[in-house]
Structure 1
Amino acid sequence: MKKTLILWVLALMVTIPASAQVLNNIDEIAPFSEGLAAVRKGKQWGFINEEGKMVIEYRDDIFASAKVDETKTDVSGVKYPIFSEGLCIIKSTVEDGVPVFGFMDTSGKIVIEPQFLNVFPFKDGFTTAVLFDKSFKGENEFKLKIFEYKFFDVRVSSTGEITDYFEKRDHVQMTVKRYQMPEIGAKIIHKNLVATHKAGQGWTIENLETKK
C-alpha cells in the first residue's frame, strides 16, 4: 500500500508542470500583441506570455497614457503598453519632470534610451519622433552650469540610430507647468516617403532614398 501511494504521488508530480505559475492581485490586463500581454499591479506594468508566465517583471518605466486620446497614434494614444515590431515604449523624466520616451525589447532590455518628447510606434523598422537634446556648454561667472537645448523632428531606426534630421523645433518649454507635448512634425507615409510639416506651409513629401 505504501509503495502504491509513493508511485501515485510521483505520477502526480510528473503531470504538474514545473513551470506552473499563478498570478494574483492583477489590477488590469491588456490585450495580447506579438505574443505578449501587459498586466498592471498598482502603478507598475509587466508582461506575460501566451502560457500565462511572467516574462517581464513589474516595473515603473513601462508606459501607458494616463489620459488617452484615441484619435492619436503617438504616445498620447497609447492606452495599454504593447509591442510593435518587438519594441515597447518606456518612459523616464528630465528637467522639471517632463517625460521622455524610449523603447525596450521583448526581454525587457532597454534598446533605445528615453530621449524623445513624442514618438510614433515602429513600422517597417523605422519611426519618427521629436528628439530632445541637452548639451553642457560651460559655466558662467557665478559657476552655474549652462546648457543648450535643441529639439528636432527625426527618423529613428529600430536599433536606435537617428538616420534623418528634419525640422528644428522651437518654443518648447521644459518645465511641467508650461510644458505641452509637441506634435510630431514628420511622419512616415510609405517606406522611404516621409511627410514633414512647416507652420503656414502645410506638408512636404520627401523620398529619403533619392535624397541621399
Structure 2
Amino acid sequence: MKRRIICLMLLMALPLTTIAQSENVSYDEIAPFSEGLAAVRIGNQWGFINENAQLVIDFRDDLVWNQNADTNKAGVLGIRYPQFKNGRCMIQKSKVNNIPFYGFIDTSGEIVIQPEYLNITEFDHKNAIGIYVREAFQGQNEINISVIDYIFTEVVVNTNGEIIWPIHEREHILTAKRRYETPELHSRLIGDDLLIYKTKDNKWETKKLDLSI
C-alpha cells in the first residue's frame, strides 16, 4: 500500500517538475508571440516555445534575424527576430560564394521552401515576394570548367513554395562576395491578389494578379 502511495505521489509531481523546468530556463531574448509561438534566443541560436512555455522547435542557427534590423525595409534586412507568418518562418543557408539564400520552415521545424531566394519578404496575404535564383548551365570552357549563368527573377511565391506569378527579371545583381549587397525588392503585396511594383523611372504601378492560373 505504501509503495502505491509513493508511486502516485511521484506521478503527480512529474507535471509540476516539467512546468518548473520550463519556467526556470533563462533566455537572452524572447520575441512576441505570433501564431501561437514565440522565438527564444540563447547566444546566436533561436528556438520556439508555445504558450505553455514548452520548447517545441529546438535551437538552431539558420533562423533569420538582425539585431540592427531596419523594420521599414521589406525583405530579410527588416527582420528583427524570427517569427511565424502564415505558418512559415524564414531560414538562411550560405551557397554561391558564401552568399546567404533564403527559404522557410513550417511549425514542425521542417524545411518546406528551399533556400533559393536572394531576398524575400515574410508571408503576408498567404504569399511572399522574393528574388528567385535559377542556374542556367552554359557548357564548359576551354579548360573544362562548367560555365553557369544565374538568372534572377522577382516573383510571387505561395506557402507551398510554388511560384505563382513572375513579376519581372532583375538585372545588375552581382554574386561576387566582396561586392555583394542584398538586392532591394521592387514589389509589394497590398492585398490577396493586388501587387504594386516600382518601374524603371521610380514610379509605382499596380497589378491585379490572376491567381487562378
Secondary structure of 1:14's match?
helix
Aligned to 1:149: 150
Aligned to 1:132: 133
Question: In 1, distance between residues paired with 2:39 and 2:9?
Answer: 35
Contact in 2 for aligned 1:118/1:181 (Cα 8 Å): yes
Give the number of aligned pairs.
Answer: 210
Cα distance change, pair 49–10 in 1 and its aligned pair in 2 (3 A)? same
Residues 102-149 of structure 1 show CA distances to partners (whole Å, capped at 9, x for unaligned) of 110000011100111111121222111111222322211101110011
Contact in 2 for aligned 1:97/1:175 (Cα 8 Å): no
Match of 1:89, as an amino acid?
A: M
Question: In 1, distance between residues paired with 2:173 and 2:105?
Answer: 26
Aligned to 2:5: 7
Match of 1:111, as an amino acid?
A: V
Contact in 1 for aligned 2:74/2:185 (Cα 8 Å): no
Match of 2:179, as an amino acid?
A: R
Question: In 1, distance between residues paired with 2:122 and 2:64?
Answer: 12
Question: In 1, distance between residues paired with 2:152 and 2:53?
Answer: 41
Aligned to 1:89: 90
Aligned to 1:67: 68
Secondary structure of 1:33's match?
coil
Contact in 2 for aligned 1:46/1:59 (Cα 8 Å): yes
CA shift at 1:70, angstroms?
A: 2.2
Aligned to 2:29: 28
**Please, which moves more after superposition, 135-144 or 18-27?**
18-27
Aligned to 1:187: 188
CA shift at 1:204, angstroms?
A: 1.8
Cα distance change, pair 19–203 in 1 and its aligned pair in 2 (3 A)? farther
Contact in 1 for aligned 2:89/2:105 (Cα 8 Å): yes
Q: 2:15 aligns with which of 9, 17, 22?
A: 17
Contact in 2 for aligned 1:195/1:206 (Cα 8 Å): yes
CA shift at 1:11, angstroms?
A: 2.4
Cα distance change, pair 58–191 in 1 and its aligned pair in 2 (3 A)? same
Question: In 1, distance between residues paired with 2:211 and 2:6?
Answer: 71
**Please, which moves more after superposition, 25-34 or 161-170?**
25-34
Secondary structure of 1:16's match?
helix
Question: In 1, distance between residues paired with 2:48 and 2:128?
Answer: 23
CA shift at 1:77, angstroms?
A: 1.1
Unaligned runs of at least 5 residues, structure 2 = none
Q: TM-score, normalised by structure 1?
A: 0.90
Higher share in strand = 1
Higher share in helix = 2
CA shift at 1:34, angstroms?
A: 0.9
Aligned to 1:168: 169
Contact in 1 for aligned 2:30/2:38 (Cα 8 Å): yes
CA shift at 1:31, angstroms?
A: 1.4
